[in-house]
Amino acid sequence: MALESRAAEALALLHRIGSQYASAALASSFGAEDMVLTDLIARNRLPIVIFTLDTGRLPGETYALIDRVREHYGVPIEVYCPDTRAVEAYVRDNGVNAFYRSVELRQSCCAIRKAEPLARALAGHGAWVTGQRRAQSVTRSAVEIEEVDAAHAVRKFNPLADWSEDEVWTYIRNHGVPYNTLHDRGYPSIGCAPCTRAVLPGEDIRAGRWWWENADHTECGLHRRPLDVVVRSEGVRA
């Protein structure tokens, strides 16, 4: 399918989400896929809120992009921060970079800095839009365009689930979409600064995320699988 047809399909889905759900939200980490969705939502003035999680450990390039997006599209970006006391307790008990020491310490850091703020951000929203793609990693190979996330009691939409990396970047170039400059320096997937590195040519897209762990663990807990119910875009069931 031609890229513009794919983009039209994604836009139609976003239109449907915006009209069907009183309060829909795009959770953006300002990665390339999230920028495609931001462009579709912002240029078409869709009633979909854009929010991000400021873990307190993001790269400077990501903070710069948040402001560029605000200026470029003239849309508000809701920023959710972790609970200060939880971060202070974690750092006091474990140190500032404890996530390198074990999967458990890494997951508890992600729970404090990402999962809890995400739950707060999603509360009250009926639909959660994400930029997940199947081809991004083994942990995302089963992503569907439309799902139900029972843990957050929300419909979850992944409009770019079947897009390729090439399609994402062609869209970004064709539409002059702002993007994180770290992508030009070998970072295909960008999260917190201490937990993200550049990848080598031929390496998996998410190989630079928590690279010291087994590839099966390389998610932060925001996109838990399996979900209780998985549905496709043509049929919705609770």
E-assigned strand segments in the chain:
24-27, 48-53, 78-80, 127-129, 146-149, 154-157, 229-231
Tell me: does residue 220 bind ligand SF4 (CB under 6 A): yes
Query: Of 17, 27, 49, 110, which lies in the binding site for ligand SF4, with binding defined by CB under 6 A?
Result: 110
What whole-number distance in Å separates Cα of residue 4 and Cα of residue 2? 6
2 secondary structure, DSSP code? -
- Give 61 or 144: the residue with its C-beta nearer to ligand SF4: 61
What whole-number distance in Å separates Cα of residue 178 and Cα of residue 176? 6
Nearest CA to 224 out of 148, 145, 164 is that of 148
Tell me: does residue 206 bind ligand SF4 (CB under 6 A): no
Catalytic residue among 109, 192, 195, 220: 220
CB neighbour list of residue 140: distance below 8 Å, 6 or more residues apart: 132, 133, 134, 223
User: In this chain, which residue has its C-beta nearest to ligand SF4?
Assistant: 192
Rounded to a whole number of angstroms, the minimum distance from the CB of residue 57 to ligand SF4 is: 4
Q: Please tell me the chain's helix, strand, coil percentages from 3-state DSSP, rounded to the nearest 5.
A: 45, 10, 45
Nearest CA to 119 out of 87, 151, 162 is that of 151
- Give 129 or 220: the residue with its C-beta nearer to ligand SF4: 220
8 A C-beta contact, residue 50 and residue 40: no
Rounded to a whole number of angstroms, the minimum distance from the CB of residue 150 to ligand SF4 is: 23
Query: Of 55, 132, 158, 180, which lies in the binding site for ligand SF4, with binding defined by CB under 6 A?
Result: 55
Rounded to a whole number of angstroms, the minimum distance from the CB of residue 238 to ligand SF4 is: 32
Tell me: does residue 48 bind ligand SF4 (CB under 6 A): no
Nearest CA to 30 out of 143, 162, 196, 181 is that of 181
Tell me: does residue 57 bind ligand SF4 (CB under 6 A): yes
Rg (CA), the chain: 17
220 in active site: yes
Rounded to a whole number of angstroms, the minimum distance from the CB of residue 168 to ligand SF4 is: 22
- Give 90 or 163: the residue with its C-beta nearer to ligand SF4: 90
Q: What is the size of the binding site for ligand SF4 (CB under 6 A)?
A: 13
Q: Which two tokens stand for residue 182?
A: 């770290």
Query: Of 21, 73, 80, 99, which lies in the binding site for ligand SF4, with binding defined by CB under 6 A?
Result: 99
Scan residues 135-194 and list those touching ligand SF4 (CB under 6 A): 191-192, 194
| Catalytic residue IDs | 220
Q: Which residues bind ligand SF4 (CB under 6 A)?
A: 55, 57, 99, 106, 109-110, 113-114, 191-192, 194-195, 220
